[in-house]
Structure 1
């Protein structure tokens, strides 16, 4: 701006007068020479003014104040509390999803996950995670028991592979490690995994009613293709 340019020019003239009063003159052009420190300050002022002019800023922008340390600590505590209420075992979202079917009773909800025979025969499961989204549980903590059921090879009954007890305090996602259960399924003729959810009767179903909802439960598995084991034989030809 013109006002800033005039200010810088007046500053340079005052610096020249101070140098002239001390008797320091340039022998080549006869203009008063500036001291090294004064010359540096004048060049910095000109450089700053040039930058502000190119950026079309009237003055140097003010830097916002950082948030207080107490506010940051409070926010971190709230985040940790939310994670501890909804997460049991951390999972990784990779390589594919398996959508379940649901059958409900007044006391429990069953989720059935089916894996194809082609995938089960040629795939090695490295990690598998079950994702569950809880709807609004109501006031207070709601106890929920999650059981992983597998077909019994010796009969038509189901066996309990694992059981986990949770206390749901608010709506959100919960992750459970089901890698061991899925790996054991791949060695059976019927690769079915059933998840049984036991909850209070007054809660109803915690799952969305629409199967196309983005909060519908699913299983994420990290897997790799199995490579056949080869044995190299060496012999001596006579």
Structure 2
């Protein structure tokens, strides 16, 4: 209760007063710190834990390690997950995200490649990892371009969610493929919202495409009239174009 009410210190007091602790109490305490921005305490509890960990405990620990960027400890947790026979698509997605956020895209890709079952969450996590690390060629070869939707459905058995398309727009924009990015926004099987057009606008600003940037900005103005960021982006683009 204290953990869910954002009071991990009070939760710790209750935890410390317990005469006997089991898997549930340890996991609850780990989650309390992991969910409220104290990854170091999460890691300390994990090291002190004197009962066999569960999948939930491992997932909470992986989130904390990702915030700390603790790659070595993350690899240790990965080893313990395998030893405990707790590997599942959900756990592998947590491992993938942890490796990416700790700066090891190669480890993240290895986890993804070894997955026997991939779902929308795992594919989305891999796309986000590519985008985060600026690995444009690898992202295009696996997930973007004209045949990206076909690739996700046929190669990975996943129907792309709107989040997949937004990640693709971001990657295409970063790599300068603004025509493809705009086409994807206009043709994706979801109603493009202000976030999609803002993502395209950011790519246009990055590469100085004023005409396409103006079109994207107009869409944002229509969908989110109170949004001020497009004005800032356009101002910077006009200044750069003199």
TM-score over 0.5 (shorter chain) = no
Given the two structures, how large is their TM-score scaled by the length of structure 2? 0.23
Compare the two structures and name the one with the higher helix fraction. Answer: 2
- With a CA cutoff of 8 Å and minimum separation of 6, indicate the structure with the bigger relative contact order: 1
Compare the two structures and name the one with the higher strand fraction. Answer: 1
Given the two structures, how large is their TM-score scaled by the length of structure 1? 0.23
